[in-house]
Amino acid sequence: MDAVYVWTQGGYQVGREPGDYPLFLVVLERDIDAWQRFFERFGIPTGFERQPEQSFEGPLQVVLNERSVLNPDHVEGYPVISRRETIEFMRKHYSTFQSALAMLDRMYDDLDLDVSYRESERECS
């Protein structure tokens, strides 16, 4: 499950291509080798940056983001990166997450993201 999905309480799930399915995972630096070995046992490629789908076999790749400390928030029991960090990521990839940002803006009274989105905007682009 990704952070955008969790923070939107299942209201938004990024469309993924069947042949290209990256998973982004935040892990402790000290555990990085264990995570790489774990995924290697299943033949799932890992890296620290997203790779083009042509560079490996199969649709799945795991992009590891190592941190010295993990301080996850919990939403409905799921550990997840903070809402602030999730929003920063969404803003960096605005074209993908514009509708999710608008959804968060409606869901949380303490946000003022100044984002508007209508489904008709997406159909025209």
Where is pLDDT greater, at 21 or 84? Answer: 84
Question: What does the block give as tokens for 54?
Answer: 């042509």
Give the closest residue to 82 by CA, choosing from 1, 17, 15, 6: 6
Give the predicted TM-score (pTM) of the model.
Answer: 0.73
Q: Is the pLDDT reported for residue 20 higher than 70? A: yes
**Average pLDDT of the chain, as a whole number:** 86
Domain tally for the chain?
A: 1
Q: Which residues contact 54 (CB under 8 A, 6 or more apart)?
A: none
Q: Are 22 and 39 in contact (CB under 8 A)?
A: no
- At residue 96, the pLDDT reads 82
Q: Is the pLDDT reported for residue 90 higher than 60? A: yes
Where is pLDDT greater, at 56 or 42? Answer: 42
Query: 60 is in which domain, residue-wise?
Result: 3-124
Q: Provide φ and ψ at 33, rounded to 5°.
A: -65, -40
**DSSP structural state of residue 85:** H
Q: How far apart are CA 30 and CA 115, in angstroms?
A: 38
